[in-house]
């Protein structure tokens, strides 16, 4: 579903990604892990064109999204993204946060958008919060709303960039549970995370980045029990 082909990215003279190639199949869940500054966020941002690769190509469903004439709006509609910080619209209720883009961007009727929003709030366990403002929610609740808001656009792919890193420890689990449910529902997902147990349990594959290179790619069991590269071994020793 996603094909990343020889992607490199530089910011000025700083080379951040070096010749990354990988594929993510429909329904696959890929965890992207690696040290801080290794290029994880940049890689994720290239997939929805928040960054443009300096070299290489990215295909989604066979369409080259990095082609000069690619329809960026259409591509972005296929892809939901959830960040470490939630960026909810503070002046809107939870329900309005979920219905705003479907109505404005996709032209869904208000009634249909609300019905969908309520269904999604139930799915993330927040049916009772439809009418409150984000300031009244805990961090974990805000992040679950952010996930529901992304899902309201009916994306085919969901990208997560350290979705639990800004949360108090007691709220991490509720967000990971929602993500696990989403994975089980067959969503195609790429997740940058430091939650190793989650990656091991939920991901089909681990991509380990270091210094902007895709150093190792393996099923979780293999990666966590017998990493091939010295760099992955050292990283895991620090993390586990």
Residues near ligand ADP, by CB under 6 A:
11, 14, 16, 34, 36-42
Question: Which of 10, 93 has the CB closer to Mg ion?
Answer: 10
Question: Which of 16, 145 has the CB closer to ligand ADP?
Answer: 16
Residue keyed to tokens 């409150």: 132
Residue keyed to tokens 């290179």: 213
Interatomic CA distance for residues 92 and 40, integer angstroms: 31
- Least separation, in Å, of the C-beta of 136 and Mg ion? 28
Asked if residue 41 binds Mg ion (CB under 5 A), the reply is yes
Query: Helix 110-123 crosses helix 139-151 at what angle (to 10 degrees)?
Result: 130
- Least separation, in Å, of the C-beta of 221 and ligand ADP? 24
Strands (E), 65-204: 79-82, 157-161, 188-192
Question: Which of 141, 143 has the CB closer to ligand ADP?
Answer: 143
- Least separation, in Å, of the C-beta of 161 and Mg ion? 6
Sequence-separated (6 or more) residues with CB below 8 Å from residue 227: 208, 216, 218, 233, 236
Q: Which stretch binds Mg ion (CB under 5 A): 33-41, 123-131, 179-187, 200-208?
A: 33-41
Question: Which of 120, 176 has the CB closer to Mg ion?
Answer: 176
String marking each residue 56-95 x if it binds Mg ion according to CB under 5 A: ----------------------------------------
- Least separation, in Å, of the C-beta of 193 and ligand ADP? 11
Question: Which of 180, 194 has the CB closer to Mg ion?
Answer: 194
Sheet holding 29-33, edge to edge: 79-82, 157-161, 188-192, 29-33, 205-210, 213-218
Burial 184-215 (b: 16+ CB within 10 A, else e): eeebbbbbbbebbebbbebbebbbbbbebbbb
- Least separation, in Å, of the C-beta of 130 and ligand ADP? 33
Q: Are 82 and 162 spatial neighbours (Cβ–Cβ below 8 Å)?
A: no
Question: Which of 52, 138 has the CB closer to Mg ion?
Answer: 52
Asked if residue 48 binds Mg ion (CB under 5 A), the reply is no
Give me the residues that bind Mg ion (CB under 5 A), please.
Answer: 40-41
């Amino acid at each position: 579903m996603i094909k990343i082909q020889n992607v490199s990215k530089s910011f000025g003279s700083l080379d951040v990604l070096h010749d990354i190639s990988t594929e993510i199949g429909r329904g696959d869940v890929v965890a992207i892990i690696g040290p801080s500054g290794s290029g994880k966020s940049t890689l994720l941002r290239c997939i929805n064109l928040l960054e443009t690769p300096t070299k290489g190509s990215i295909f989604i469903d066979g369409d080259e999204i990095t082609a000069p004439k690619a329809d960026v709006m259409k591509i972005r509609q296929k892809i939901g993204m959830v960040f470490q910080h939630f960026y909810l619209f503070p002046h809107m209720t939870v329900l309005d946060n979920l219905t705003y883009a479907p109505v404005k961007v996709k032209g869904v009727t208000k009634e249909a958008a609300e019905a969908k929003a309520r269904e999604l709030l139930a799915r993330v366990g927040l049916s009772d919060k439809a009418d409150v403002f984000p300031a009244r929610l805990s961090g974990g609740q805000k992040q679950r709303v952010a996930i529901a808001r992304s899902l309201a656009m009916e994306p085919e792919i969901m990208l997560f960039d350290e979705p639990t890193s800004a949360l108090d420890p007691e709220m991490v689990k509720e967000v990971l549970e929602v993500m696990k449910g989403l994975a089980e529902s067959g969503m195609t997902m790429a997740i940058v995370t430091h939650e190793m147990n989650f990656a091991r349990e939920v991901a089909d594959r681990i991509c380990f980045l270091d210094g902007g290179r895709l150093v190792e790619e393996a099923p979780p069991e293999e990666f966590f029990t017998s990493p091939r590269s010295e760099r992955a071994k050292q990283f895991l020793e620090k993390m586990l």
